[in-house]
Chain A
Amino acid sequence: MSRRRFHPRWFRRRTPIFWWLEKGVYVHFIVRELTSLAVAYAAALLVVQVAVLGAGAEAHARFAALLASPWAVGWHALVLVGLLYHTLTWLHLAPKALVVKLGGHRVPDAAILAGHYLGWLAATALVALVLVRS
Protein backbone atom coordinates (compact mmCIF):
# COMPACT_ATOMS: atom_id res chain seq x y z
CA MET A 1 0.00 0.00 0.00
CA SER A 2 1.52 3.30 -1.01
CA ARG A 3 2.14 6.09 1.47
CA ARG A 4 0.48 8.53 -0.96
CA ARG A 5 -2.88 6.86 -0.51
CA PHE A 6 -3.25 8.21 3.00
CA HIS A 7 -1.61 11.53 2.45
CA PRO A 8 -4.13 14.36 2.08
CA ARG A 9 -3.38 16.00 -1.23
CA TRP A 10 -5.81 18.74 -2.08
CA PHE A 11 -6.34 19.78 -5.65
CA ARG A 12 -6.01 23.51 -6.18
CA ARG A 13 -7.21 24.90 -9.48
CA ARG A 14 -5.32 27.92 -10.76
CA THR A 15 -7.54 30.82 -11.72
CA PRO A 16 -7.07 31.29 -15.48
CA ILE A 17 -5.91 34.70 -16.65
CA PHE A 18 -9.07 35.10 -18.73
CA TRP A 19 -11.41 34.12 -15.87
CA TRP A 20 -13.46 37.22 -16.58
CA LEU A 21 -14.57 35.84 -19.96
CA GLU A 22 -16.42 32.97 -18.27
CA LYS A 23 -19.57 34.97 -17.57
CA GLY A 24 -21.25 38.07 -18.95
CA VAL A 25 -21.42 39.49 -15.42
CA TYR A 26 -17.64 39.30 -15.05
CA VAL A 27 -17.09 40.95 -18.45
CA HIS A 28 -19.46 43.73 -17.41
CA PHE A 29 -17.50 44.15 -14.16
CA ILE A 30 -14.10 44.30 -15.90
CA VAL A 31 -15.39 46.85 -18.44
CA ARG A 32 -16.78 48.93 -15.57
CA GLU A 33 -13.41 48.84 -13.80
CA LEU A 34 -11.48 49.66 -16.98
CA THR A 35 -13.71 52.61 -17.77
CA SER A 36 -12.58 54.18 -14.50
CA LEU A 37 -9.45 55.00 -16.53
CA ALA A 38 -11.67 57.20 -18.71
CA VAL A 39 -12.84 59.00 -15.55
CA ALA A 40 -9.23 59.50 -14.40
CA TYR A 41 -8.24 60.71 -17.88
CA ALA A 42 -11.13 63.21 -18.00
CA ALA A 43 -10.19 64.57 -14.58
CA ALA A 44 -6.52 64.90 -15.59
CA LEU A 45 -7.53 66.62 -18.84
CA LEU A 46 -9.57 69.16 -16.86
CA VAL A 47 -6.58 69.91 -14.62
CA VAL A 48 -4.35 70.35 -17.68
CA GLN A 49 -6.94 72.66 -19.29
CA VAL A 50 -7.04 74.83 -16.18
CA ALA A 51 -3.22 74.97 -16.09
CA VAL A 52 -3.10 75.91 -19.80
CA LEU A 53 -5.76 78.57 -19.22
CA GLY A 54 -3.51 80.00 -16.51
CA ALA A 55 -0.65 80.15 -19.00
CA GLY A 56 -2.48 82.72 -21.14
CA ALA A 57 -4.92 83.09 -24.03
CA GLU A 58 -2.37 82.09 -26.67
CA ALA A 59 -1.45 78.84 -24.92
CA HIS A 60 -5.12 78.04 -24.46
CA ALA A 61 -5.88 78.69 -28.14
CA ARG A 62 -3.07 76.29 -29.14
CA PHE A 63 -4.40 73.65 -26.74
CA ALA A 64 -7.97 74.14 -28.01
CA ALA A 65 -6.74 73.69 -31.61
CA LEU A 66 -5.02 70.46 -30.55
CA LEU A 67 -8.24 69.18 -29.04
CA ALA A 68 -10.15 70.09 -32.21
CA SER A 69 -7.99 67.84 -34.41
CA PRO A 70 -9.84 64.81 -35.86
CA TRP A 71 -7.82 62.23 -33.89
CA ALA A 72 -8.43 64.12 -30.63
CA VAL A 73 -12.17 64.34 -31.36
CA GLY A 74 -12.29 60.61 -32.15
CA TRP A 75 -10.31 59.76 -29.01
CA HIS A 76 -12.52 61.91 -26.81
CA ALA A 77 -15.66 60.39 -28.32
CA LEU A 78 -14.30 57.02 -27.10
CA VAL A 79 -13.52 58.53 -23.70
CA LEU A 80 -17.10 59.87 -23.55
CA VAL A 81 -18.50 56.38 -24.20
CA GLY A 82 -16.32 55.06 -21.35
CA LEU A 83 -17.42 57.90 -19.08
CA LEU A 84 -21.10 57.30 -19.79
CA TYR A 85 -20.75 53.57 -19.21
CA HIS A 86 -18.96 54.13 -15.92
CA THR A 87 -21.39 56.82 -14.78
CA LEU A 88 -24.52 54.81 -15.59
CA THR A 89 -23.25 51.61 -13.97
CA TRP A 90 -22.05 53.59 -10.94
CA LEU A 91 -25.43 55.28 -10.55
CA HIS A 92 -27.22 51.94 -10.76
CA LEU A 93 -25.00 50.49 -8.01
CA ALA A 94 -25.49 53.45 -5.67
CA PRO A 95 -28.78 52.21 -4.11
CA LYS A 96 -26.95 49.08 -2.91
CA ALA A 97 -24.64 51.17 -0.75
CA LEU A 98 -27.05 53.85 0.38
CA VAL A 99 -29.67 53.06 2.96
CA VAL A 100 -31.72 56.20 3.53
CA LYS A 101 -34.52 56.27 6.05
CA LEU A 102 -37.32 58.82 6.11
CA GLY A 103 -39.90 58.76 8.86
CA GLY A 104 -38.74 55.32 9.99
CA HIS A 105 -39.17 53.81 6.51
CA ARG A 106 -36.43 52.87 4.08
CA VAL A 107 -36.45 54.96 0.91
CA PRO A 108 -36.92 52.59 -2.08
CA ASP A 109 -33.94 51.93 -4.36
CA ALA A 110 -35.80 53.46 -7.33
CA ALA A 111 -36.16 56.76 -5.46
CA ILE A 112 -32.45 56.82 -4.59
CA LEU A 113 -31.59 56.09 -8.22
CA ALA A 114 -33.95 58.83 -9.39
CA GLY A 115 -32.29 61.24 -6.94
CA HIS A 116 -28.89 60.48 -8.43
CA TYR A 117 -30.16 61.02 -11.98
CA LEU A 118 -31.76 64.31 -10.94
CA GLY A 119 -28.49 65.40 -9.32
CA TRP A 120 -26.60 64.49 -12.49
CA LEU A 121 -29.09 66.40 -14.64
CA ALA A 122 -28.91 69.44 -12.34
CA ALA A 123 -25.07 69.46 -12.41
CA THR A 124 -25.08 69.10 -16.21
CA ALA A 125 -27.61 71.94 -16.56
CA LEU A 126 -25.48 74.15 -14.28
CA VAL A 127 -22.32 73.51 -16.32
CA ALA A 128 -24.25 74.09 -19.55
CA LEU A 129 -25.60 77.36 -18.17
CA VAL A 130 -22.11 78.57 -17.24
CA LEU A 131 -20.76 77.63 -20.68
CA VAL A 132 -23.62 79.31 -22.55
CA ARG A 133 -23.29 82.55 -20.57
CA SER A 134 -19.50 82.78 -20.83
Chain B
Amino acid sequence: MADATVTLEVQRYRPEREDEPVWERFEVPARREWMVLDALNHVKDRLDGSLTFRWSCRMGVCGSCGMTVDGEPKLTCATPLAARGDGRPVRVEPLRGFPVIRDLVVEIRSFLGKLKRTRPWLIRDDDVPLAAGEHLQTPAELADYKQYSMCINCLLCYSACPIHHLEPDFAGPAALALAQRYNLDSRDRGAAERMEELSRHSGIWGCTFVGECSEVCPKGVDPAGAIQRYKLAAAADWFQSILLPWSGQARAKRREVAR
Protein backbone atom coordinates (compact mmCIF):
# COMPACT_ATOMS: atom_id res chain seq x y z
CA MET B 1 0.00 0.00 0.00
CA ALA B 2 1.36 3.39 -1.01
CA ASP B 3 2.22 5.87 1.72
CA ALA B 4 -0.38 8.58 2.30
CA THR B 5 0.43 11.91 0.71
CA VAL B 6 -0.67 15.51 1.03
CA THR B 7 -1.06 17.79 -1.97
CA LEU B 8 0.91 20.98 -1.56
CA GLU B 9 -0.21 23.83 -3.80
CA VAL B 10 2.60 26.33 -3.97
CA GLN B 11 2.52 29.72 -5.62
CA ARG B 12 5.43 30.05 -8.00
CA TYR B 13 6.77 33.26 -9.43
CA ARG B 14 9.85 33.07 -11.61
CA PRO B 15 10.29 36.52 -13.12
CA GLU B 16 12.25 35.16 -16.08
CA ARG B 17 9.34 32.82 -16.95
CA GLU B 18 6.09 34.28 -15.63
CA ASP B 19 4.46 37.69 -15.71
CA GLU B 20 2.41 36.80 -12.67
CA PRO B 21 2.38 33.98 -10.13
CA VAL B 22 1.05 30.53 -11.03
CA TRP B 23 0.08 27.57 -8.86
CA GLU B 24 2.06 24.36 -8.89
CA ARG B 25 1.10 21.09 -7.19
CA PHE B 26 3.43 18.70 -5.40
CA GLU B 27 2.61 15.43 -3.64
CA VAL B 28 4.49 15.15 -0.37
CA PRO B 29 4.44 12.43 2.30
CA ALA B 30 1.73 13.00 4.94
CA ARG B 31 4.01 12.68 7.95
CA ARG B 32 2.24 13.42 11.19
CA GLU B 33 5.20 15.27 12.70
CA TRP B 34 5.89 17.41 9.63
CA MET B 35 5.31 21.11 9.51
CA VAL B 36 4.58 22.95 6.26
CA LEU B 37 8.25 24.00 6.16
CA ASP B 38 9.31 20.33 6.20
CA ALA B 39 7.08 19.73 3.19
CA LEU B 40 8.62 22.69 1.36
CA ASN B 41 12.10 21.40 2.14
CA HIS B 42 11.03 17.97 0.85
CA VAL B 43 9.94 19.60 -2.42
CA LYS B 44 13.22 21.48 -2.70
CA ASP B 45 15.36 18.43 -1.87
CA ARG B 46 13.50 15.77 -3.88
CA LEU B 47 11.09 17.27 -6.39
CA ASP B 48 12.13 20.73 -7.58
CA GLY B 49 15.36 22.33 -6.41
CA SER B 50 14.38 25.66 -7.92
CA LEU B 51 11.61 26.32 -5.35
CA THR B 52 12.70 29.41 -3.45
CA PHE B 53 11.76 30.32 0.12
CA ARG B 54 13.36 31.69 3.29
CA TRP B 55 13.90 29.70 6.46
CA SER B 56 16.48 29.31 9.16
CA CYS B 57 15.89 28.14 12.73
CA ARG B 58 12.89 25.77 12.31
CA MET B 59 11.73 26.56 15.85
CA GLY B 60 9.74 29.78 15.66
CA VAL B 61 12.54 32.09 16.74
CA CYS B 62 14.16 33.61 13.64
CA GLY B 63 10.95 34.81 11.95
CA SER B 64 12.24 33.94 8.45
CA CYS B 65 9.67 31.41 7.27
CA GLY B 66 6.49 33.50 7.42
CA MET B 67 4.16 32.68 4.50
CA THR B 68 0.47 32.57 3.74
CA VAL B 69 -0.86 29.07 4.43
CA ASP B 70 -4.46 28.39 3.42
CA GLY B 71 -5.08 32.14 3.32
CA GLU B 72 -3.67 32.89 6.78
CA PRO B 73 -0.27 34.38 7.62
CA LYS B 74 1.69 31.67 9.44
CA LEU B 75 5.18 30.64 10.45
CA THR B 76 5.55 27.54 8.28
CA CYS B 77 7.89 25.93 10.81
CA ALA B 78 5.07 25.98 13.36
CA THR B 79 2.14 25.04 11.12
CA PRO B 80 1.40 21.31 11.02
CA LEU B 81 1.14 19.95 7.49
CA ALA B 82 -1.63 17.42 7.95
CA ALA B 83 -3.51 18.98 10.85
CA ARG B 84 -6.61 19.74 8.78
CA GLY B 85 -6.98 16.14 7.60
CA ASP B 86 -9.78 16.84 5.12
CA GLY B 87 -7.83 15.81 2.02
CA ARG B 88 -7.87 19.28 0.46
CA PRO B 89 -4.54 20.65 -0.83
CA VAL B 90 -2.49 22.82 1.51
CA ARG B 91 -2.02 26.18 -0.26
CA VAL B 92 1.20 28.09 0.35
CA GLU B 93 1.67 31.66 -0.92
CA PRO B 94 4.11 34.46 -0.10
CA LEU B 95 3.19 36.90 2.67
CA ARG B 96 0.62 39.36 1.36
CA GLY B 97 1.27 43.08 1.21
CA PHE B 98 4.88 42.80 0.03
CA PRO B 99 6.37 42.65 -3.47
CA VAL B 100 7.30 39.10 -4.45
CA ILE B 101 10.90 38.64 -5.57
CA ARG B 102 10.66 34.94 -6.44
CA ASP B 103 8.29 32.12 -5.48
CA LEU B 104 7.71 32.55 -1.72
CA VAL B 105 10.35 35.22 -1.08
CA VAL B 106 9.13 38.76 -0.50
CA GLU B 107 10.97 42.07 -0.50
CA ILE B 108 11.15 43.51 3.03
CA ARG B 109 13.44 46.52 2.67
CA SER B 110 10.50 48.91 3.16
CA PHE B 111 9.88 47.34 6.57
CA LEU B 112 13.54 47.60 7.59
CA GLY B 113 13.49 51.33 6.79
CA LYS B 114 10.34 51.85 8.87
CA LEU B 115 11.81 49.86 11.74
CA LYS B 116 14.97 51.97 11.78
CA ARG B 117 13.00 55.23 11.76
CA THR B 118 11.17 54.26 14.97
CA ARG B 119 14.55 53.89 16.74
CA PRO B 120 13.99 50.51 18.37
CA TRP B 121 16.95 50.63 20.72
CA LEU B 122 17.66 52.01 24.18
CA ILE B 123 18.26 55.76 24.07
CA ARG B 124 19.92 57.43 27.03
CA ASP B 125 20.60 61.10 27.71
CA ASP B 126 23.54 60.30 29.96
CA ASP B 127 26.74 58.36 29.52
CA VAL B 128 26.95 55.85 32.36
CA PRO B 129 30.33 54.11 32.67
CA LEU B 130 30.34 50.30 32.74
CA ALA B 131 31.83 50.45 36.22
CA ALA B 132 28.55 51.90 37.50
CA GLY B 133 27.00 48.43 37.12
CA GLU B 134 23.68 47.24 35.68
CA HIS B 135 20.57 49.29 35.16
CA LEU B 136 18.38 47.43 37.62
CA GLN B 137 14.67 46.85 36.93
CA THR B 138 11.88 45.58 39.09
CA PRO B 139 9.77 42.63 37.83
CA ALA B 140 6.89 45.10 37.34
CA GLU B 141 9.08 47.34 35.15
CA LEU B 142 10.11 44.31 33.10
CA ALA B 143 6.50 43.19 32.76
CA ASP B 144 5.58 46.58 31.27
CA TYR B 145 7.46 45.93 28.03
CA LYS B 146 8.34 42.23 28.02
CA GLN B 147 5.56 41.02 25.71
CA TYR B 148 6.59 43.57 23.04
CA SER B 149 10.19 42.38 23.25
CA MET B 150 9.04 38.94 22.05
CA CYS B 151 8.54 40.27 18.50
CA ILE B 152 10.67 38.31 16.01
CA ASN B 153 10.00 40.57 12.97
CA CYS B 154 8.33 37.72 11.09
CA LEU B 155 5.99 40.24 9.38
CA LEU B 156 2.86 38.11 9.78
CA CYS B 157 1.25 41.19 11.35
CA TYR B 158 1.98 43.25 8.23
CA SER B 159 0.50 40.55 6.05
CA ALA B 160 -2.69 40.59 8.16
CA CYS B 161 -2.94 44.39 8.26
CA PRO B 162 -5.14 45.81 5.47
CA ILE B 163 -3.91 49.33 6.21
CA HIS B 164 -0.36 48.27 5.37
CA HIS B 165 -1.65 46.89 2.05
CA LEU B 166 -3.58 50.06 1.25
CA GLU B 167 -1.11 52.66 2.56
CA PRO B 168 2.47 51.53 1.94
CA ASP B 169 3.85 54.43 4.02
CA PHE B 170 2.13 53.19 7.19
CA ALA B 171 4.84 52.28 9.72
CA GLY B 172 2.94 49.11 10.55
CA PRO B 173 2.33 46.94 13.61
CA ALA B 174 5.76 45.46 14.39
CA ALA B 175 7.71 48.73 14.04
CA LEU B 176 5.20 50.57 16.24
CA ALA B 177 5.07 47.76 18.83
CA LEU B 178 8.86 47.70 19.00
CA ALA B 179 8.96 51.47 19.48
CA GLN B 180 6.54 51.01 22.37
CA ARG B 181 8.73 48.21 23.72
CA TYR B 182 11.48 50.81 24.25
CA ASN B 183 9.16 53.63 25.30
CA LEU B 184 7.87 51.42 28.12
CA ASP B 185 11.35 50.34 29.22
CA SER B 186 12.34 52.08 32.46
CA ARG B 187 15.96 52.35 31.21
CA ASP B 188 14.99 54.26 28.07
CA ARG B 189 14.89 58.04 27.70
CA GLY B 190 13.98 58.20 24.00
CA ALA B 191 10.18 58.52 24.08
CA ALA B 192 10.23 62.19 23.08
CA GLU B 193 12.71 61.44 20.29
CA ARG B 194 10.43 58.74 18.89
CA MET B 195 7.30 60.83 19.31
CA GLU B 196 7.87 62.87 16.15
CA GLU B 197 8.07 59.78 13.93
CA LEU B 198 5.36 57.82 15.69
CA SER B 199 2.82 60.62 15.89
CA ARG B 200 2.81 61.25 12.12
CA HIS B 201 -0.23 60.18 10.13
CA SER B 202 1.85 57.29 8.78
CA GLY B 203 2.62 56.33 12.39
CA ILE B 204 0.12 55.50 15.08
CA TRP B 205 -2.68 57.58 13.53
CA GLY B 206 -2.57 55.47 10.39
CA CYS B 207 -3.82 52.51 12.42
CA THR B 208 -7.59 52.08 12.32
CA PHE B 209 -7.55 49.24 14.83
CA VAL B 210 -8.55 46.28 12.70
CA GLY B 211 -6.82 44.21 15.37
CA GLU B 212 -5.87 41.28 13.14
CA CYS B 213 -2.14 41.92 13.69
CA SER B 214 -2.47 40.80 17.29
CA GLU B 215 -4.51 37.74 16.33
CA VAL B 216 -1.93 36.35 13.91
CA CYS B 217 1.18 37.06 16.01
CA PRO B 218 2.89 33.71 16.72
CA LYS B 219 4.63 35.11 19.80
CA GLY B 220 1.60 36.54 21.58
CA VAL B 221 2.62 40.17 21.05
CA ASP B 222 -0.25 42.65 20.92
CA PRO B 223 0.78 45.35 18.43
CA ALA B 224 -2.77 46.65 18.13
CA GLY B 225 -2.89 47.22 21.89
CA ALA B 226 0.53 48.91 21.83
CA ILE B 227 -0.59 51.34 19.13
CA GLN B 228 -3.84 52.23 20.91
CA ARG B 229 -1.94 52.81 24.16
CA TYR B 230 0.44 55.09 22.31
CA LYS B 231 -2.46 57.02 20.77
CA LEU B 232 -3.77 57.69 24.28
CA ALA B 233 -0.33 58.76 25.49
CA ALA B 234 0.20 61.02 22.43
CA ALA B 235 -3.21 62.64 22.90
CA ALA B 236 -2.53 63.19 26.62
CA ASP B 237 0.87 64.74 25.78
CA TRP B 238 -0.75 67.06 23.26
CA PHE B 239 -3.39 68.20 25.77
CA GLN B 240 -0.71 68.68 28.39
CA SER B 241 1.37 70.84 26.05
CA ILE B 242 -1.71 73.01 25.38
CA LEU B 243 -3.11 73.20 28.91
CA LEU B 244 0.16 73.12 30.87
CA PRO B 245 2.76 74.56 28.47
CA TRP B 246 5.16 75.22 31.34
CA SER B 247 5.22 71.58 32.54
CA GLY B 248 8.55 69.74 32.42
CA GLN B 249 7.35 67.09 29.99
CA ALA B 250 5.96 69.63 27.54
CA ARG B 251 9.18 71.68 27.69
CA ALA B 252 11.27 68.56 27.04
CA LYS B 253 9.09 67.68 24.07
CA ARG B 254 9.45 71.15 22.54
CA ARG B 255 13.22 71.01 23.04
CA GLU B 256 13.27 67.67 21.25
CA VAL B 257 11.21 68.91 18.33
CA ALA B 258 13.36 72.05 18.04
CA ARG B 259 16.57 70.02 17.95
Cβ contacts under 8 Å, A97 to chain B? 225, 228-229, 231-232
Cβ contacts under 8 Å, A33 to chain B? 208
Task: Give B63 Cβ to nearest chain A Cβ, in Å.
Answer: 21
B16 with A2: CB separation less than 8 A: yes
Stretch at the interface among A7-15, A54-62, A63-71, A77-85: A7-15
Cβ contacts under 8 Å, A19 to chain B? 162, 165-166
B215 with A98: CB separation less than 8 A: no
Cβ contacts under 8 Å, B26 to chain A? none
A11 with B21: CB separation less than 8 A: yes
- A5 interface hit (Cβ, 8 Å): yes
- B127 interface hit (Cβ, 8 Å): no
Chain B residues touching A, range: 20 to 34
User: What is the 8 Å Cβ interface bit string for chain A, positions 1-32, against chain B (1 contact, 0 not)?
Assistant: 01011011111110100011011011001000
A12, B232: Cα distance in complex, Å: 35
Cβ contacts under 8 Å, A5 to chain B? 16
Q: Which residue of B lies closest to A20 (CB)?
A: B162
B208 with A9: CB separation less than 8 A: no
Cβ contacts under 8 Å, A26 to chain B? 162, 210, 212
A131, B16: Cα distance in complex, Å: 73
Cβ contacts under 8 Å, A8 to chain B? 15, 101
User: What is the 8 Å Cβ interface bit string for chain B, positions 143-176, against chain A (1 contact, 0 not)?
Assistant: 0000000000000000000100110000000000
Given A8-B101, A25-B210, A29-B208; A96-B222 close (CB under 8 Å): yes
- B132 interface hit (Cβ, 8 Å): no
B99 with A12: CB separation less than 8 A: yes
- B13 interface hit (Cβ, 8 Å): yes
A10, B21: Cα distance in complex, Å: 11
How many residues on chain A are close to B (CB under 8 Å)? 25
Q: Which residue of B lies closest to A97 (CB)?
A: B228
Q: Which residue of B lies closest to A11 (CB)?
A: B100
Q: Which residue of A lies closest to B17 (CB)?
A: A5
A104, B71: Cα distance in complex, Å: 42
Task: Give A17 Cβ to nearest chain B Cβ, in Å.
Answer: 10
A25 with B211: CB separation less than 8 A: yes
Cβ contacts under 8 Å, B126 to chain A? none
Q: Which residue of A lies closest to B212 (CB)?
A: A25
- A45 interface hit (Cβ, 8 Å): no
A25 with B228: CB separation less than 8 A: no
18 CB < 8 A contacts A-B: A10-B107, A11-B15, A11-B20, A11-B21, A12-B99, A13-B96, A13-B100, A15-B162, A15-B165, A25-B211, A25-B212, A29-B209, A29-B210, A33-B208, A93-B228, A96-B209, A96-B224, A97-B228
> What 5 new A-B contacts, CB under 8 Å, besides A11-B99, A97-B228?
A11-B15, A15-B166, A20-B162, A26-B212, A93-B209
Chain B interfacial positions (CB closer than 8 Å to A): 13, 15-16, 20-21, 71, 96, 99-101, 107, 140, 162, 165-166, 208-212, 215, 222, 224-225, 228-229, 231-232
